[in-house]
Amino acid sequence: MSAPPLSARPPDVPPKAHTSKLLTADALAERWCVKPSQVYRLSRGGHLPVVKLGRYYRYRLDQVEEFERAGGAADG
């Protein structure tokens, strides 16, 4: 079964939302050489953008890279 054509995407969902890789807290912790608890702490504090999937946190790679470029500072 193939994916729906791009024209079938709901108009309120930006195309980038469908292509960004999702990272786990463990993968992000490994990337940053910190413990996963530090990643969760940043998430709960609202400093790191998250995607909640039920009780699980996932992190969009493009948003993580933006967070890193900003020097680890959250917008707002």
- Is this model's pTM higher than 0.75 or not? no
Query: Does a structural domain hold residue 75?
Result: no
What's phi and psi for 13, nearest 5 deg?
-105, 115
Count up the domains in the chain and report the number: 1
Higher pLDDT, residue 1 or 53? 53
pLDDT at residue number 20: 79
Query: Does a structural domain hold residue 9?
Result: no
Q: What's the rounded Cα separation, in Å, for the pair 60 and 4?
A: 22
- For 44, the domain range is 20-69
Dmax of the chain from CA atoms? Answer: 42
Q: What's the rounded Cα separation, in Å, for the pair 54 and 42?
A: 19
Query: Does a structural domain hold residue 15?
Result: no
> What pLDDT, in 10s, does the model give residues 12-70?
655 555 567 999 999 999 999 999 999 999 999 999 999 999 999 999 999 999 999 99
Query: Does a structural domain hold residue 58?
Result: yes
* Residue 7 confidence (pLDDT) above 60: no
Query: Does a structural domain hold residue 64?
Result: yes
Going from the C-alpha of 48 to that of each of 4, 29, 70, 72, the distances in angstroms are: 31, 13, 11, 8
Query: Does a structural domain hold residue 14?
Result: no
Query: Does a structural domain hold residue 7?
Result: no
Higher pLDDT, residue 7 or 38? 38
